[in-house]
Structure 1
Amino acid sequence: METCHSPEQSNVTSYADTTVAIVITLEVFAGMWINAFIVSVICMAWVRKKTLNSKEKILLFLGSSRFWYLCISWVYSISLIIYLKYLYVHPIFQVLNSARNFFNYSNLWFSASLFVFYCIKIANFRNSFFTYLKVKIDRIVPCLLLGSLLFSLVMGITVYSTTDKALSKNFNFTCQGSIWKSSISIDQQFLPHYFIIGVGYAILFTAVIFSALLLLFSLWRHKRNMQTNSMKDLSMDAHIKAMKSILSFFIMYSINFICLILTLIYSMKNENDAIFLIYLIQYTFPGFHSLVLIFSNPSLEKRLLGVLPCVKCKFSSRENCNKTRSP
């Protein structure tokens, strides 16, 4: 049985928890706004054109999964920090944990699918299989998205089942820290489940690395051919812009993969503060990468730059109205 902290320790803990909750809230709501913007722009384009291309389909699924992942992660984290007694009411914790894992996995699968899509569309290789993929990629994308959803759903159901079995055991919660430590012990009892999650992340990370290497080699060869022929190609700027976007995503994806491994390691060591710090890093990935996608997409960038002045004008007009109304 855990021993509760002194009043001084509780005050320090509550202050630290409040600070973490505020930081998580700011990160999550910024990421939710960015991904909601992507989804809304693509949906308006869908209504206008009555159809979507393969890239827009992936971005629509990616933005939606990231929006709901951040939303549920915020509820999960705030409940874990502040509303512990409500979190462990059956089946609130099981549902939140499984939904969070489902949207996290779908987010990673969709982002890896976008990475592979860029690789197939941009890179040029005289390989029969690669040529076949380039021709059939538009037909492959819907199957890829459906497969990502199904796999993520299986992982979400698995998380719910394993968490429900763990919580069916009798845990004694005598203070706030004991509930969080009990959730850590749940993680330790289901190492095979985390092994499956780690394998899934490793597969995604391998696909991202392989795609990045292919794109780098294709760009290098394209640039060498241009220098040899002393010609300028208009597609060179598009190659460079896409490579900047993909390389930035590769760096962020690598950091996210490292955070996953660290989460598994610190879960076994009961390092709660380190896990929350890793969560803070992970929550920046969906928003920051979506922002990179916006500025690498001309239509999304144009819409965003068009929206920001409107928001600024609205705030300035309200301030002017308040000044005129004030005596």
Structure 2
Amino acid sequence: MEACHPQDKFNITLYDVITMVIITPQAFAGMWINAFIIAVLCGTWLKKKTFNSNEKILLVLGSSRFWYLCTTWIYYFLSVIYPWCFYVQPIPQLFSALYNFFNCSNLWASAFLCVFYCIKIATFRHIFFIYLKVKIDRIVPWLLLGLLLSSLFLCILAYDFTDKTCCQNLTSTSLGNLWVSSVRMDEHIFPLFWSVGGF
């Protein structure tokens, strides 16, 4: 068994450092803004003891964006500082599943918020818009439940897909075999990420 050399563990380039310096403030600013939105909504809930439909959507959207940014930053940080951890069996599957869950929740909540405000401000006299304006507050909890279930479904698919494509071929720790496995993983996972919203 070969001993790991320090240069094998930490192979950080200038490009990686510059990218981390640029990405880190952006990620933390996004996390702070979404945490602020969540805190304001929770403070409002403590005063009123209820949530409006738009507040429910904003709470789900803020939470999913916060955890999406957090997961993405941790993934990039680990891939730069310690990339070998992604060849340990559950780590690629967990990051893929978490990324897909929060990304899908983020996209669906953003779409629901756009549709909600469009329905609320629309001045059409069509019977369908009038029906939606009256019933939208009752529909929102069911839409959010559907959002969470569809995100969970895609999260399970991503975990299973990553497990089958990436980790079944990792039988050797040589750099050549890891490179071939990671290339094959990217080729097979690209359609899954494309269907959810892109990586």
Tell whether the structures are fold-level matches, with TM greater than 0.5. yes
The amino acid across from 2:88 in the alignment is V
1:67 aligns with 2:89: no
Could you tell me the percent identity over the aligned residues?
Answer: 52
Q: Secondary structure at the match of 2:56?
A: helix
Structure 1 residue 19 displacement after superposition: 1.4
Q: In the alignment, which residue of structure 1 is the partner of 2:132?
A: 133
Judging changes above 3 Å, is the alpha-carbon distance between structure 1 residues 132 and 103 closer, same or farther for their aligned structure 2 residues?
same
Structure 1 residue 174 displacement after superposition: 4.2
Q: In the alignment, which residue of structure 2 is the partner of 1:168?
A: 168
Judging changes above 3 Å, is the alpha-carbon distance between structure 1 residues 131 and 35 closer, same or farther for their aligned structure 2 residues?
same
Q: CA RMSD in A?
A: 2.3
Q: Secondary structure at the match of 2:169?
A: coil
**Aligned-partner Cα distance in 2 for 1:92–1:34:** 28
Higher radius of gyration, 1 or 2: 1
The amino acid across from 2:151 in the alignment is S
- For these two proteins, the number of residue pairs brought into alignment is 190
Superposition map of 1:169-318 within 5 A: 169-170=169-170, 174-175=174-175, 179=178, 182-190=181-189, 193-194=192-193, 197-198=194-195, 201=197, 260=198
Structure 1 residue 17 displacement after superposition: 1.0
Would you say the 8 A contact 2:170–2:177 is kept in 1?
Answer: no
**Aligned-partner Cα distance in 1 for 2:192–2:39:** 36
Structure 1 residue 179 displacement after superposition: 4.9
Judging changes above 3 Å, is the alpha-carbon distance between structure 1 residues 113 and 36 closer, same or farther for their aligned structure 2 residues?
same
Deviations 1:218-255 (A, max 9, x none): xxxxxxxxxxxxxxxxxxxxxxxxxxxxxxxxxxxxxx
Would you say the 8 A contact 2:169–2:181 is kept in 1?
Answer: no
Q: Secondary structure at the match of 2:157?
A: helix
Q: In the alignment, which residue of structure 1 is the partner of 2:99?
A: 100
The amino acid across from 1:121 in the alignment is K
Would you say the 8 A contact 1:84–1:179 is kept in 2?
Answer: no
1:87 aligns with 2:82: no
Judging changes above 3 Å, is the alpha-carbon distance between structure 1 residues 128 and 110 closer, same or farther for their aligned structure 2 residues?
same
**Aligned-partner Cα distance in 2 for 1:190–1:71:** 21
Would you say the 8 A contact 1:69–1:103 is kept in 2?
Answer: yes
Q: In the alignment, which residue of structure 2 is the partner of 1:304?
A: none
The amino acid across from 2:84 in the alignment is K
Structure 1 residue 32 displacement after superposition: 0.2
The amino acid across from 1:152 in the alignment is S
Would you say the 8 A contact 2:170–2:178 is kept in 1?
Answer: no
**Aligned-partner Cα distance in 2 for 1:21–1:178:** 27
Judging changes above 3 Å, is the alpha-carbon distance between structure 1 residues 181 and 32 closer, same or farther for their aligned structure 2 residues?
farther
Superposition map of 1:15-30 within 5 A: 15-30=14-29
Would you say the 8 A contact 2:97–2:159 is kept in 1?
Answer: yes
**Aligned-partner Cα distance in 1 for 2:164–2:142:** 33
Would you say the 8 A contact 2:97–2:155 is kept in 1?
Answer: yes
Judging changes above 3 Å, is the alpha-carbon distance between structure 1 residues 191 and 14 closer, same or farther for their aligned structure 2 residues?
closer
1:109 aligns with 2:108: yes
Q: In the alignment, which residue of structure 2 is the partner of 1:151?
A: 150
Q: Secondary structure at the match of 1:51?
A: coil
**Aligned-partner Cα distance in 2 for 1:71–1:95:** 14
**Aligned-partner Cα distance in 2 for 1:148–1:15:** 40
Q: In the alignment, which residue of structure 2 is the partner of 1:34?
A: 33
Deviations 1:156-208 (A, max 9, x none): 11000010112111365545x985764342131356535xx52x55xxxxxxx
